[in-house]
A and B are shown apart, each in its own frame.
Chain A
Amino acid sequence: MDRRNFIRSSALTSSYLLIPNFLKPLEYLDIKGNKNLVIIQLSGGNDWLNTIIPFTNDIYFKNRNKLGIKADKVINLNKELGFNPALAPLKEFYDAGHMSIVNNVGYPNPDRSHFRSMDIWQSASGSSEYLSTGWIGRYLDSNCKNAHQAIEVDNNLSLALKGEKLKGMAVKDAQQLFKQTQLPYFKNIAEIEKKETLNEDNQGYLYKTLIETVSSAEYIYETSKTKTNSFDYPNTDFGKQLKNVATFIESGLTTKVYYVSLTGFDTHVAQMNKHQKLLEIYAEGIAAFIKNLKGINKFDDSLLFTFSEFGRRVEENASGGTDHGTAGNVFLFGANLKKKGIVNEGPDLADLTDGDLKYHLDFRNIYANILNNWLSADANILINNSVVPYEIV
C-alpha cells in the first residue's frame, strides 16, 4: 500500500475527521489543483415539467391545459424531450456535450414544505432525518483548511455550507466584507489571539472563526481586487452573482465551491410569464458565465450543478399555476462530463403517486459522484447511508 492509498483508506474511518487539518498531509487536502464546483440553487420549487418538456406526451398536455408549452415552440433535444424556448441560450452547450440533464431526481418520502425539502437537499439527509450540517460543510470539515474554500454569493450562509468545525463564507460584496473585518478593534483582537494557543471550547471556536473570517476576507479581497471582469453579463442580480464568481475564479482563489441562488420559482398563480422570465434569467446568466469561463480558460476546471428543492405537480391548478410536487431534474455543465445530454429516461407521467412524479434517482447518488470524482473527497464519510455514486462526472 503506498502512502496515498494508505491515507485514503484511513480516511474511511471517521476518526480521521478529528485530526486537525494542519496535520493532514497536503496531498490529501488539495489533490487536483484548482477544480471548482458552482452550485446553482433554484429556490421555490422549479416547474421542471415546463423546463424540460415531454412534448410528445398526451398526458402532459391533458394536465397542462393552460400552461402546456406547445410542441412547435419546444426546442427539441430528442424525440420526447425538449427545452422550454426560454432555455435557447443553453442549446449550444447541450450540442457541444457540455450539459447533462438528469431526469426524475428526488428522494424517498418527499416533503412538500419548501424549507424542509431545501434542508434535505442542502444537508443531504433522509426525509425523516435532521442534520445540522450541510453536504458542502462536511466536505469543508474533512478536506479543507479555510472558510473561503466555500463561498456563497449572498449576505447569509446557507445550511449547505455549514460544517461542524468549519463553515463557508457568505460574500455578497468582497470589499464590504473586507472593510467590516478591518475595523481596527476587530483586527487587533484577532491578532492578539493568533499568537496564543486557542482551546477547543466555545471561546476558542469563536476566536478561530474570527481569525478565519479576518484572514479569509482579506485573502478574497486582496486576491480578487486585481481583476476587473469586463465580460458582458445580463443586467440581472443572478448575472451579477455569476460575474462575481467568474471574477473570483479568474483571480485564482483556491475556493472549491461557489454557491449561487435564483429565487421566485414558487409559481402557484399565473405561472406562464413569470416562469418564462425566470428561465430566461437563468439561461442567459449561465450562458454568459460559461462563455466567460471559456474565455479565461477555466471552463475545464469548473463544474456547474443546478437543482431545486422539488418539482411541481403534474396537473396545473385553477389559478394558472402549479403546486408543490416531488421529483424533477438536475442540470450539470462541464467540459468533461462522463454522461452527456439527456442521461436517463424522461418522466413517466402514467405512473404517478397521488398525482406526483416518482423519483428514480436519489440526489445523494449524484452528490456522492461529485464529491468522489470532482472534489477528491470521500462520499462514504460525508453522506449518510452509503449511497451508490451515480457516475456522471
Chain B
Amino acid sequence: MTTHLKYIFHLYNRAGFGISYKEALALSNKSMKEIIDGLFSDSTMATYLSVIKPNDLPKRKDAINSGMSKKEINKLILQKGVELNMAWVKHLMTTTNAIREKQTLFWHNHFACRIRNPYLLQELNNIHRKFAFSNFRDLLVEVSKSSAMLDFLNNQQNKKEHPNENFARELMELFTLGRGNYTEEDVKESARAFTGWSYDKDTFEFQYKEKHHDFGEKTFLTHKGTFGGEDIINMIMDNRQTAIFLCRKLYRYYVNENVDEARVKALAEFYFMNQYNTEMLLKKIFMADWFFAENNIGSNIKSPIELLIGLSRQYHIKYNNEKLLIQLQRQLGQVLFFPPNVAGWPGGKSWIDSSTLLLRMRLPSLVLNNGDIDNDERTDDPDDMFNETNGEQTNQKFGTHLNWIDILKAHEGLSIEKLSAAILAKQPNEKILNTINTEAANNKKEQIIKLLSLPEYNLC
C-alpha cells in the first residue's frame, strides 16, 4: 500500500468514521490538501435531527390531567429517547457530513448533558452540529443559553437570593479553563453573574429573568464590574488557558491520547489569535506533517460509537433490529445522549475491560456473519456465491444486511498484508497474519472477518 493511501485511511479514521477500501482508492489521485478541503466542503451544509417535536412529550401536569399514569409517561419518554438515539446513529452511518458529525460528537462529549427530555437533548445536539466549526465563543454562548444545559446544571435555580454554582463551576472546570486556573471565589462570583438565566417552560426558549438577576458588583479573574453572564464568557475567552484546555482535548481526540504539550501550546496560540475559529484549527491539525507521523497512526482506542459506526460505514451494513443497536451501545459502554455525567465519557483505555474487549472482538463476526469467525463453507467459491443469494447476506440472528459480493470484489487480488493494511490502522504481528493466511488460504471472506476480529481493529 502506498504511503498516500495509508494517510487517507488515517485522515478518515480520525476526521470521520473510517472509509472503505474502494472509496479510499478513488481518492488516491488527489493531493492531501484537496482531500482535506473536500472533507470540509462535504460538510458545509448541516443536516439537523428533527425526530422529536417540541410537543411530542406532554407537560407532566397535562399528561396527568389527561389520565396518563407516571408509568405511561416514563414509557413515552423512554421511547422518544430511543427514537432520538436511533435518528443520530442512522445519520452517522449514512451521512456525507463525516467531519461535521465527528466534531458534533466531540462537542456532545465536551458539553455532556444527562437529562431525560429528548426534545431538549435534540436541540442541544443541533447546536453542537450548527456551531461545530464556528468560533468557540458563539458555540459556548448558545450552549449556555440552551434549555438542556440550563436544566441539567440547575441554572433555573440560580437566583439572586440563593445563587446556584453548578453551572458556573462546570463552565470553568469542564468547558473552558480547566482545574487550577480559577478560584472558588471566581466560581461564587460568576454564579452571581448568571443569575436569572433561565428558559420558558412552554416554549423552551431562553429567558432572562431580570428580577432574579444580581446586578451588584462582582470580581472575576481579578476584574471588577457589574458583570452579566456574557461578560463572564468574554473574560474566559480572553484567557489563553481556555485555548490551551480546548486544544489539549482536541489533540487527544484527533491526534493522540498521549499529548505533546509543545504542539498543544502552538495550536492554542493559533486558536487564540484566530478568535477560536474551530474550522481553521482543525485544518491546521490535519495539514500538519506530525498528524501523519507513524506514532500517531493507530495509536488511539476507538470509542464504541467510532467502532460501530466505522464498521457499518465501511461495509454498508443495514440494521433491521434497532434494539440491537441500543444494546450494543450499552454493552460497549457508550449510549449516545446518555453520558455518565457532566464530564463525559473518560475514553481511551477506560473503554476496555475483559467483557467489552471480548464483545468488540466478536462484534464484526456477529454483524457481518452471524457470529461465525471460522467459516466452514467456502463462500469464496464463485458458483456458490452467485447461486440464488446474489451475494446478499441477511444475518438472521442480528437482523443485519450487507452485500458480500461487493465487499469481496472491492478487495479482489489483495495479499494478506495489503488486506490487513486496508482494514487495520495498526499492523498485527507477522505471525498472526501468517496464521490467518494459512487458516483461510482461499477464503477472502474469512480473512476479512478474521482481520476485523483482531484487537487491532479497535485502534484508529
Contact = CB atoms under 8 A, between A and B. Distances in A.
Interface in A106-156: 113, 115-116, 119, 128, 130, 132-133, 147, 155-156
A195 to B, nearest CB: 9
Interface in A191-237: 192-193, 196, 201-203, 205-207, 209-210, 212-213, 216-217
A254 B350 CA distance: 24
Contacts of B326: none
B432 A189 contact: yes
B407 interface: no
Given A202-B257, A206-B357, A207-B455, A119 B352 contact: no
A202 B351 CA distance: 11
B350 A162 contact: yes
Interface string B110-129: 00001000000000000000
B358 A180 contact: yes
Interface string A243-264: 0000000000000000000000
Among B342, B353, B428, B435: residue with most chain A CB under 10 A: B353
B162 to A, nearest CB: 11
Contacts of A205: 349, 352
Contact of B355 (A155, A185, A201, A206): A155
A269 interface: yes
A384 interface: no
A203 B455 contact: yes
Interface size, B (range): 35 or more
Interface in B311-361: 331, 333, 340-343, 346, 348-350, 352-358, 361
A196 to B, nearest CB: 6
Given A157-B355, A192-B435, A212-B354, A130 B455 contact: no
Contacts of A217: 354
Among A167, A180, A202: residue with most chain B CB under 10 A: A202
B419 to A, nearest CB: 16
A184 B331 contact: no
A171 B331 CA distance: 14
B429 A185 contact: no
B190 to A, nearest CB: 15
Contacts of B356: 157
A350 interface: no
A117 B114 CA distance: 14
A132 B300 contact: no
Contacts of B343: 130
A188 interface: yes
Contact of A167 (B353, B432, B454): B353
A203 B355 contact: no
Among B342, B348, B357, B455: residue with most chain A CB under 10 A: B455
B160 interface: no
B429 A192 contact: yes
Contact of A192 (B114, B431, B459): B431
Contacts of A181: 358
B156 interface: no
B346 A132 contact: yes
B456 A203 contact: yes
Given A184-B374, A201-B299, A205-B349, A269 B70 contact: yes
Nearest to A167: B353
B301 to A, nearest CB: 5
A130 B355 contact: no
Interface string B436-460: 0000000000000010011110110
Interface in A161-187: 162, 164, 167-170, 180-181, 183-186
B459 A213 contact: no
A185 B374 contact: yes
Contacts of A186: 358, 361, 453
A9 to B, nearest CB: 29
Contacts of A196: 429
A164 B349 contact: yes
A119 B358 contact: no
A42 to B, nearest CB: 20
A161 B46 CA distance: 41
Contacts of B173: 128
B105 interface: no
A185 B453 contact: yes
A205 B353 CA distance: 10
B169 interface: yes
A188 B356 CA distance: 19
B213 interface: no
A130 B114 CA distance: 15
A157 B354 contact: yes
A155 B354 CA distance: 10
A206 B455 contact: yes
Interface of B: 70, 114, 169, 173, 257, 298-301, 331, 333, 340-343, 346, 348-350, 352-358, 361-362, 373-374, 426, 428-429, 431-432, 435, 450, 453-456, 458-459
Interface of A: 113, 115-116, 119, 128, 130, 132-133, 147, 155-157, 162, 164, 167-170, 180-181, 183-186, 188-189, 192-193, 196, 201-203, 205-207, 209-210, 212-213, 216-217, 269, 319
26 contacts: A115-B340, A115-B341, A119-B340, A156-B355, A157-B356, A168-B353, A181-B358, A185-B450, A186-B358, A186-B361, A189-B428, A192-B429, A192-B431, A192-B432, A192-B435, A196-B429, A202-B300, A202-B459, A205-B349, A206-B456, A206-B459, A209-B352, A210-B361, A212-B354, A213-B358, A269-B70
Please give me the 4 A-B residue pairs with the lowest Cβ-Cβ distance, nearest first: A132-B346, A206-B455, A130-B343, A213-B354
